[in-house]
Amino acid sequence: MLVTSKKMILNAQKGGYAVGAFNIENMEMAMAAIQAANDLHSPIILQTTPGTLKYADLSVYLANVKALAEQVEIPVAMHLDHGSSFELAMQALRTGYTSIMIDGSHEPFEQNAEVSRRVADACRPNNVPVEAELGKVGGKEDDLDGGSGNPYTVPSEAKEFVERTQVDYLAIAIGTSHGIYKGEPKLDFDRLAEIRQVVDIPLVLHGTSGVPDEQVRKAIAGGICKVNYATDLRIAYTKGVRETIKDEMVIDPKKYGTLGMKEVYDLVSEKIKVCGSDGKA
Ligand code: 13P
Ligand code: ZN
Ligand code: NA
């Protein structure tokens, strides 16, 4: 069933696990991800970025996910990822998205806090939870280049930001980056612990593709309750499709879509287990 992300993430926080949030680009990726979660009795969050929403709009992705969610018993949330403006966040709210991120992390602290507070205020009466970001995760975020030189989240600022904005979840920068890493990323677990000490709302990890699973597990043990995966799903889907269309006789989208879905299913199953949300639905 389609639900908000609130209860599933609070349950994860209490239980010491995380909910995986998977970026989808098409119906097939949504089908495969929901199937994997259902088979593992796990809650799941599907999400779309502004870049993805240029390919098809909010209502198209939501309709797909809603129809699929209605066929299963597990909780499924539909989240706006990296909402780039107050207006887009409001559009997602009106369309029926059940979880919303406003990403003001490219702005100075004051402007970020202001737009995040406005979105949280608008979503609260609708019981739609809001995620905001402080610090810069950076890297190649969809079609946006988040740049490098990521300022990590400053714990004292995080405390003030959460108090002022009253957002439901906070995305933090502790050394991950969007896309695939050149070397192995080093997460700043001391910083995570300091943030955890002064912020009690669920924390979100972005840029998780390419982070070794044991570091993800350690981050979850340190207070991360939502874990975002995007690039890994694109790679998986494309791998399946590419293998199939090498054969020039293949002209049926169902044929290559099926293998793409198989790859996404396997990947999402694996990452749900890393998050520890299997059996929690
Ligand atoms: P990756 O593409 O590195 O998995 O990042 C995902 C993400 O943070 C989506 O918001
Ligand atoms: Zn992200
Ligand atoms: Na990454």
127 is in an annotated binding site: no
Atom of ligand 1 nearest to the CA of 209: 4
pLDDT at 43: 99
Least confident of 111-115, 150-154, 253-257: 150-154
Q: What is the pTM of this model?
A: 0.97
Per-residue confidence at 139, pLDDT binned at 50, 70, 90?
confident
pLDDT at 184: 85
82 is in an annotated binding site: yes
- 23 CA distance to ligand 2 centroid (A)? 9
Domain boundaries 6-275, corresponding CATH code: 3.20.20.70
Non-local CB neighbours of 267 within 8 Å, separated by 6+ positions: 229, 232, 233, 236
pLDDT in tens, 145-178: 555 556 899 999 999 999 999 999 999 999 999 9
Q: How far from 127 is each of 6, 48, 75, 81, 131, CA to CA, in Å? A: 9, 20, 16, 18, 13
Per-residue confidence at 182, pLDDT binned at 50, 70, 90?
confident
Atom of ligand 1 nearest to the CA of 211: 3
| Active-site residue flag, 81 | yes
Per-residue confidence at 88, pLDDT binned at 50, 70, 90?
very high
Q: What share of the chain is helix, strand, coil (3-state, %, to 5)?
A: 50, 15, 35
Question: For all residues of the chain together, what is the average pLDDT?
Answer: 96
Per-residue confidence at 142, pLDDT binned at 50, 70, 90?
low
> Would you call 47 helix, strand, or coil by DSSP?
strand
Least confident of 67-71, 112-116, 184-188: 184-188
CA distance 146 to 137: 8
pLDDT at 183: 83
Span 57-69, mean pLDDT?
Answer: 98
The ipTM of this complex is: 0.99
- Nearest ligand to the C-alpha atom of residue 133: 2
103 is in an annotated binding site: yes
Half-sphere exposure of residue 67: CA atoms within 13 angstroms, side-chain side: 9
pLDDT at 99: 99
Span 194-198, mean pLDDT?
Answer: 98
- Tell me, what DSSP letter sits at residue 139? B
**Is residue 23 in contact with ligand 1, taking CB distance under 6 Å?**
yes
Span 45-60, mean pLDDT?
Answer: 98
**Is residue 138 in contact with ligand 1, taking CB distance under 6 Å?**
no
Atom of ligand 1 nearest to the CA of 206: 8
